[in-house]
Structure 1
Amino acid sequence: MADNPLPPPDYELAERRTLTTPSQVQALSNPLRTAILGLLHERAASVSELATAVGRPRSTVAHHVRVLADAGLLRVVRTRRVRAIEERFYGRTARMFVVSVERDDDGELPVDFNDFEVAARESADAFRSGQLWAFLRHARIPQERATEFWERLAGLVREFDELPRSGDTVYGFAAGIYPTDHPRLADPGGERS
């Protein structure tokens, strides 16, 4: 475990950014790119540092960093001179990205992007080893209450994002609220509303 945890990250960034274009959402749909964004919650990093952290070739990581930068999700936050080369350090443009993309004429989202699908894949090994902590609950509530609850969850996500980085294990944190077709009881008096 690290003795001196650092407050994340070591550069200025917006609290929240709304992604409104299919290219921005598509940039997030690649697991390597989401890993890069996750690493940059800790601190700014060069392409070489990112390549070492994810165990991929520098050229591959450079391509994915370019995709993220072109989509406006990353930016150069500082540079340093190393011999005759200027080394760039990249950082996120926001702590949290919120997807708000218009559906196409068929009502479909432009790409397959579902954080719970990612969390399900990532959590499989933790489940098998007895290290998955999760809850799933259902409640019949009005839309306004669901929105209020989501805002409270978003605050908890922000708190998780801002934790000082230390330790040897990277934990995932998934939160969501969504409508279901879960069965419900009739209202007292026999009517369903």
Structure 2
Amino acid sequence: MNEEFEVSTAAQFKALGHPLRHRLLFALGQEAATISQLATSLGTAKGNVAHHLGVLREAGMVEVTETRQVRGGTEQYYRRTARRFSFTGEGAHQAYATALQAAAADLGTATDPRVNIRNLRLTAAQAAELATRLDEIVTGLDDAGPGEARYGVVVAVYRPES
């Protein structure tokens, strides 16, 4: 798995245009999963998951890492191609907004969520320092492995239009 995947083309941004695709990327995290496993964990139909995984696969964001023969069929295990996705270019703002919609959907069913939303006045230098420190915290965390619960982490520092 690569460390980072830069999303920058129109086709890649189009692939991230649906909140379920972001949720699939969240769910895949560090471990591979089948369509059935993803459908169960996300509470959606297998056909829906298969379609959206196909779109992400065409965009290079997920890949098949293993196949197994089961009851007359082939089971495929999907995983993300990168640990982290960054957005640059014209579609970045919409991709961030869609990612937050996906996170909000997860929050809607979360167990004991911890959310802190705050607006405060900062200098540009303070905002940059805060963003850097938060990024270091989140990227410095190691995945605890498949036996542990999956947690979503959303970190954003942004300046809204006045």
TM-score of Structure 1 vs Structure 2, range by shorter chain:
0.7 to 0.9
Indicate whether 1:136 and 2:136 are aligned: no
Aligned-pair Cα RMSD in Å: 3.2
Preserved CA contact (<8 Å) 2:30 2:83: no
Q: Please say if residues 29 and 113 of structure 1, whose CA atoms lie closer than 8 Å, have aligned partners that are also in contact.
A: no
- Corresponding residue of 1:191: none
Q: Which residue of 2 aligns with 1:81?
A: 69
Cα deviation, residue 152, structure 1: 2.6
In the other structure, the counterpart of 1:52 is: 40
Tell me the CA shift for residue 125 of structure 1: 7.2
The one-letter code of the counterpart of 1:38 is F
Give 3-state SS (helix, strand or coil) of 2:11's partner: helix
| Greater Cα offset, 152-161 or 89-98 | 152-161
Q: How does 1:25-174 map to 2 (within 5 A)?
A: 25-102=13-90, 111=94, 113-114=96-97, 115-120=99-104, 122-123=106-107, 131-143=113-125, 146-160=127-141, 162-164=143-145, 166-167=148-149, 170-174=150-154
Secondary structure of the 1:23 match is helix
CA distance in 2, matches of 1:49, 1:153: 31
1:22–1:110: 8 Å Cα contact kept in structure 2? no
Query: When you count helix as a share of all residues, which structure comes out higher?
Result: 2
8 Å CA contact 2:8, 2:87 repeated in 1: yes
Number of positions where the alignment pairs a residue of Structure 1 with one of Structure 2? 160
Larger radius of gyration: 1
Partners of 2:26 and 2:152 within 8 A in 1? no
Deviation at 1:18, TM superposition (A): 0.8
CA gap of 1:15–1:151, structure 2 versus 1, over 3 A, is farther
1:24 aligns with 2:12: yes
**Counterpart in the other structure of 2:156:** 176
Q: Is the 8 A contact 1:75 1:93 kept in 2?
A: yes
CA contact (8 A) 1:123 1:132 kept: no
TM-score, with structure 2 as normaliser:
0.76
Instruction: Give, in angstroms, the shift of residue 130 of structure 1.
Output: 8.2
Q: TM-score, normalised by structure 1?
A: 0.66
Bigger shift: 76-85 or 59-68?
Answer: 76-85
Cα pair distance change 1:55/1:161, threshold 3 Å: farther
SS at structure 1 position matched to 2:15: helix
